[in-house]
Amino acid sequence: MNVQNNADLNSSTKVAADWWRGGVIYQIYPRSFQDSNGDGIGDLRGITQRLGYIASLGVDAIWISPFFKSPMKDFGYDVSDYRDVDPMFGTMADFKILLDQAHALGLKVMIDLVLSHTSDQHPWFVESRANRDNPKSDWFVWADPKPDGTPPNNWLSIFGGSAWQWDSRRMQYYLHNFLSSQPDLNFHCREVQDALLDVARFWLDLGVDGFRLDTINFYFHDAQLRDNPALPLDQRNASIAPMVNPYNHQNHLYSKSQPENIAFLERLRALTDAYEGRACLGEVGDAQRGLEIMGEYTTGDKRMHMCYAFEFLESRAITAGHAKQVFDQLEAKAGDAWPCWAFSNHDVQRHASRWGLSDLSVRQHAVLMMCLRGSACLYQGEELGLSEAEVPFERLQDPYGIEFWPEFKGRDGCRTPMVWATQDEQSGFSSGDPWLPVSKKQAELAVDRQESNDQSILHHYRRAIAFRHAHPALMSGTQTDMAEENGVLRFIREDGREQIFCAFNLGSEPAALTLPAGNWQMIGQELQAVAENEMGNVTLEAAQFCLARRTGG
């Protein structure tokens, strides 16, 4: 009897430790989620006020975009103090209350660690730039100019122009893969690695359940500073940067994704594993090798728990053929890698607009994400079916959009305030003037209006998430027999106890479908009713899907 009890306890503990495997993570962009004090900017107390709503979705965790002290040149992704909360968002006491209340509701809390670079106002950089022989002189990437005074190589910034900024104090250039006010840390310096691991330890000790790691493949640069080669025109795509950005003209072989990064990721994983039930989610920013790098970074149990690449965040809509190609590539490069999928986030146009989805297609894509092998990230407002907001040029805040307007409008359209109440001032986000305008079109889909309609997209997301959690095969099972036929993507998820057959018509025309041989029972009717005839044949209209289950072998 005691042996059985111990076995049950061990199994329960393992499930708790592996909550991230197949888990659903809800991303919060704090500036735009809920304002609690009327200054027009969302804050930690606002998030705490809405934790009950988030828990009602059935998600496993929240990921909070940066709330650390920052001059906000890139809205928190330029950190000036890794160990404190920016007053704009509240205090450390506010964060501890948020953490405790989230845990009381059964929600894990992941925070967004930006380790590849700091703000130029961070004390580390202030000291580093003072002269060439101070204790932190090599904590950032410094290089002498070429004899003609130009930058040391041809590397480009994602935000446009050279990735090198001249500094008159040291008479050298420093590297910045993003804004010039975001200098890159030098990971070849062991002291830098140790300092950043201490930052992670600080938050783990505080009780956070893991980290979303910004631009995880940007940590290391080529120590020889070799030029990046040109990228052929037919290989360029806009998954990482818009096509109007010269960043797409290079194959970034040397400015990121260096092999030395693996050892640091293993150090970070070892630290995380010293705390029970914690997880690391890495963002892989690479337009050519994203899946390969995802595989490298998550294979085995000594690197990252999971990563996401940009294959499903790009402008190309998900077709059956494209989805199969993504999974075939992932299987070929790293079959045991654990991916995390996202269709929208704070950096890309909302997928309802990006892919031109109808209401039915939005619902279908929600179920598709819940059925794919891997974990899942939902971006705030996605569960409402929100489309991209229109932000006029004079209201733009994003330096990226301002730089490349009008061909690229930046990221403000996906960052406008969350809509809570259709008729309330600023849709319930704030009692003051919000930092970005509230979308009137989005307000029509506010939470209060959808809560009162059982057939709304919001309730559909709740049912889709519950469906995922109800089936172990969908959470952590294998994925086999993926095929594409007549616009239909089909595959089987299996965990030994059950098999789930999944088919999604991602095309524009009706398609006939025959279920695999065997005793299958149609399921998921609460998500969408699909009729099956006596021979196991189904006709899927555009944006329809079919789910069936069988148990045993």
- Concatenated DSSP letters of 24-46: EEEEE-GGGT--SSSSSS--HHH
Residue 532's pLDDT is: 67
Radius of gyration of the chain (CA): 24
Per the annotation, the verdict on 283 as an active-site residue is yes
Residue 237's pLDDT is: 86
Residue 529's pLDDT is: 81
What does the DSSP 8-state code read for residue 221?
Answer: -
pLDDT digits (tens, 9 = 90+) for 10-42: 444 455 789 999 999 999 999 999 999 999 999
pLDDT digits (tens, 9 = 90+) for 365-409: 999 999 999 999 999 999 999 999 999 999 999 999 999 999 999
pLDDT digits (tens, 9 = 90+) for 271-327: 999 999 999 999 999 988 999 999 999 999 999 999 999 999 999 999 999 999 999
Residue 553's pLDDT is: 57
Strands 340-342 and 375-379: parallel
pLDDT digits (tens, 9 = 90+) for 227-252: 999 999 989 988 888 889 999 999 99
Domain ranges of the chain: 2-117+190-468, 479-551
Of the listed 35, 60, 283, 296, which one is catalytic? 283
The superfamily in CATH containing domain 2-117+190-468 is Glycosidases (3.20.20.80)
CA distance 465 to 366: 9
pTM of the shown model? 0.96
Residue 325's pLDDT is: 96
Residue 474's pLDDT is: 98
Q: Is pLDDT above 50 for 7?
A: no
Local confidence band at 6 (pLDDT 50, 70, 90 cut-offs): very low
CA distance 345 to 178: 18
Q: How many CB atoms lie within 10 A of CB 381?
A: 27
Q: Is pLDDT above 60 for 3?
A: no
Strand ranges for 23-156 from DSSP E: 24-28, 61-64, 68-69, 81-85, 108-113, 142-143
The CATH classification of domain 479-551, taken from the options 2.60.120.650, 2.60.40.1180, 3.30.1540.20, 1.10.10.920: 2.60.40.1180
Q: At what angle do helices 290-298 and 320-334 cross, to 10 degrees?
A: 40
Does 479-551 match 2-117+190-468 at the fold level?
A: no
Residue 15's pLDDT is: 52
- Count CA atoms within 13 Å of residue 11 on its CB side: 6
What Cα–Cα distance (Å) separates residue 514 from each residue in 205, 265, 323, 536, 548?
A: 53, 45, 20, 6, 12
> Of 332-336, 360-364, 377-381, 486-490, which range is least confident?
332-336
Q: Largest Cα–Cα distance of the chain, in whole Å?
A: 80
Residue 251's pLDDT is: 96
Of the listed 74, 209, 214, 484, which one is catalytic? 214
Q: How many CB atoms lie within 10 A of CB 146?
A: 11
Per the annotation, the verdict on 214 as an active-site residue is yes
**CB-based burial label for 393 (10 Å; 0-12, 13-18, 19+):** exposed
